[in-house]
């Protein structure tokens, strides 16, 4: 089965918690705190696998979660880091945010992409020893790993897309010009999924051509195979429109040509404006008294397009067509790679009452789910980010809660990996 669009949920591993421990050894007085740090959680990494051609592997498994980091231990032993979870996808897969549809990443090269980062491990109590705080009896919890619901959408990386009604000879043309072996038969919708073939024209001159399953009039409303596979020519630099001029099925080639063009425009005006050449196929079946070829030529050339006469079944004109295609590709821009336009929304504060506040002398340790998400999103090296963090804490009512609990000026507020002195 050909699967080219799926929705999945991915979650990176949580960071392990830091340990509260103290060094105890014979003849060693006041060994001090030695709790180890928690391990970082594993990340979700997306990698291209050229041995994959569909998203079939995601049909039954829709949730992916990387392992969490292990908690720290005494003796300053850090917890083991969670292993990264690698998700393999076919080349040309576009990762989109499920809610907005914005592009997160286009997996069109061999570069890996970190989709969700694992949570940082919490610090053990060894980090919190100071001259005035020699026996810290607290450690930090690990931060949660990032999570995301995304849509994986496969868009084939092809230079040329073959379009046309069912049974006009697209698969036959691909089979006689490349090493591809698509299913060929004399009935509609023989091709049920896109096929790719590499066309070799000359030394150092080749291109990739995609045979897109036949669309019909009304595809925009779901007739036939609908528009399910038109996404695979979104990247194509050139469209070859195959038209059956023989009239063997009682259809008019000019009407067929216009109907397919209308469906392309319905799907995407940008795609309809893509450079196109027209191939009048099945010349070997054209009746001697038919004017189909002449009418189609006049109609096509009136729109400024070129028409080539071929018979894919007998290979008549196919080599010349492929040379023409290769020549046009030299002057066209490269295959489209989608730029990421997804902007991750910053976490916002929740209610101060939802936070866990622990009091150790002059130190106040604060943790909680929304606070962990907020701190993950903050770049503390950036002034504006720090101001945003401060505004969110004030918005939550945290400072008012701390004052009600008796916090004093100069006390230390410890939030995960960060500490600051409290001032009213």
Model pLDDT for residues 111-124, shown as the tens digit of each residue = 999 999 999 998 88
Name which of 190, 189, 197, 245 is nearest 219 in CA terms: 189
Which pLDDT does position 188 carry in this prediction? Answer: 45
Confidence of residue 77 (pLDDT cuts 50, 70, 90): very high
Which pLDDT does position 46 carry in this prediction? Answer: 97
Query: Which range, of 69-73, 162-166, 213-217, 397-401, averages the lowest pLDDT?
Result: 213-217
Q: What is the mean pLDDT of the chain?
A: 87
Two structure tokens written together for 107: 């997996």
Q: Could you tell me where in the chain the CATH 3.30.300.350 domains are found?
A: 348-424
Confidence of residue 70 (pLDDT cuts 50, 70, 90): very high
The architecture of the domain spanning 160-329 is 3-Layer(aba) Sandwich (3.40)
pLDDT tens sequence across 354-372: 999 988 888 898 988 899 8
Query: Cα separation of 150 and 173, whole Å?
Result: 37
State yes or no: pLDDT of 190 exceeds 50: no
Which pLDDT does position 181 carry in this prediction? Answer: 64
Q: Which CATH superfamily is domain 1-154 in?
A: GTP1/OBG domain (2.70.210.12)
Strands 276-281 and 205-211, bridge-based pairing:
unpaired
Name which of 67, 79, 85 is nearest 121 in CA terms: 79
Angle between helices 318-329 and 170-177 (to 10 degrees): 80
- Residue 410 region by backbone torsions, left for phi larger than 0, else alpha for psi between -120 and 50, else beta: left
State yes or no: pLDDT of 223 exceeds 90: no
Phi and psi at 311, nearest 5°, equal: -135, 100
Classify each residue of 153-187 as buried b or exposed e, where b means 16 or more C-beta atoms within 10 Å of its C-beta. bbbbbbbbbbbbbbbbbbbbbbbbbbebebebeee
Q: How confident is the model over 76-84, as a mean pLDDT? A: 94
Q: Which fold has domain 348-424?
A: GMP Synthetase; Chain A, domain 3 (3.30.300)
Q: Could you tell me where in the chain the CATH 2.70.210.12 domains are found?
A: 1-154
Q: How confident is the model over 41-68, as a mean pLDDT? A: 92
Query: Cα separation of 161 and 207, whole Å?
Result: 11
Residues 6+ apart with CB under 8 A from 276: 238, 239, 240, 241, 305
Q: Could you tell me where in the chain the CATH 3.40.50.300 domains are found?
A: 160-329
The CA-based angle 251-252-253, given to 5 degrees, is 115
Confidence of residue 191 (pLDDT cuts 50, 70, 90): very low
Which pLDDT does position 185 carry in this prediction? Answer: 46
């Amino acid at each position: 089965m050909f699967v080219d669009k799926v929705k999945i949920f991915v979650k990176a591993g949580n960071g392990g918690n830091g340990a509260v421990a103290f060094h105890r050894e014979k003849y060693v007085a006041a060994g001090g705190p030695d709790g180890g740090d928690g391990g970082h959680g594993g990340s979700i990494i997306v990698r291209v696998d050229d041995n994959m051609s569909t998203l079939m592997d995601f049909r039954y498994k829709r949730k992916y979660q990387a392992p969490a980091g292990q908690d720290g231990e005494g003796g300053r032993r850090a917890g083991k880091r969670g292993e990264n979870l690698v998700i393999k996808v076919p080349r040309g897969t576009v990762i989109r945010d499920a809610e907005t549809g914005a592009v997160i990443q286009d997996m069109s090269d061999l570069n890996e992409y970190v989709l969700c980062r694992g949570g940082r491990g919490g610090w053990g109590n060894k980090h919190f020893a100071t001259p005035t705080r020699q026996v810290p009896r607290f450690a930090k919890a690990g931060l949660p790993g990032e999570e995301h619901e995304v849509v994986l959408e496969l868009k084939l990386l092809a230079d040329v897309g073959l379009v046309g009604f069912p049974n006009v000879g697209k698969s036959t043309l691909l089979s006689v010009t490349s090493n591809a072996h698509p299913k060929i038969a004399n009935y509609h919708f023989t091709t049920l999924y896109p096929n790719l073939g590499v066309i070799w024209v000359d030394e150092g001159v080749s291109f990739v051509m995609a045979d897109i399953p036949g669309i019909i009039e009304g595809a925009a409303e779901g007739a036939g195979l609908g528009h399910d596979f038109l996404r695979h020519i979104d990247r194509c630099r050139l469209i070859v429109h195959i038209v059956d001029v023989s009239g063997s099925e009682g259809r008019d080639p000019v009407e067929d040509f216009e109907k397919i063009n209308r469906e392309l425009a319905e799907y995407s005006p940008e795609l309809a404006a893509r450079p196109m050449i027209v191939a009048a196929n099945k010349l070997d079946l054209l009746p001697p008294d038919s004017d189909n070829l002449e009418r189609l030529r006049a109609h096509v050339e009136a729109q400024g397009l070129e028409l080539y006469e071929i018979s894919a079944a007998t290979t008549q004109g196919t080599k010349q067509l492929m040379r023409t295609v290769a020549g046009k590709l030299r002057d066209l821009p490269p295959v489209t790679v989608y730029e990421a336009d997804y902007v991750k929304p910053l976490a916002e504060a929740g209610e101060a009452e939802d936070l866990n506040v622990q009091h150790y002398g002059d130190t106040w340790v604060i943790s909680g789910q929304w606070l962990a998400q907020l701190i993950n999103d903050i770049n503390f090296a950036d002034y504006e980010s720090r101001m945003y963090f401060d505004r969110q804490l004030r918005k939550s009512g945290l400072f008012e809660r701390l004052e009600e609990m008796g916090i004093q000026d100069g006390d230390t507020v410890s939030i995960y990996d960060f500490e600051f002195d409290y001032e009213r």
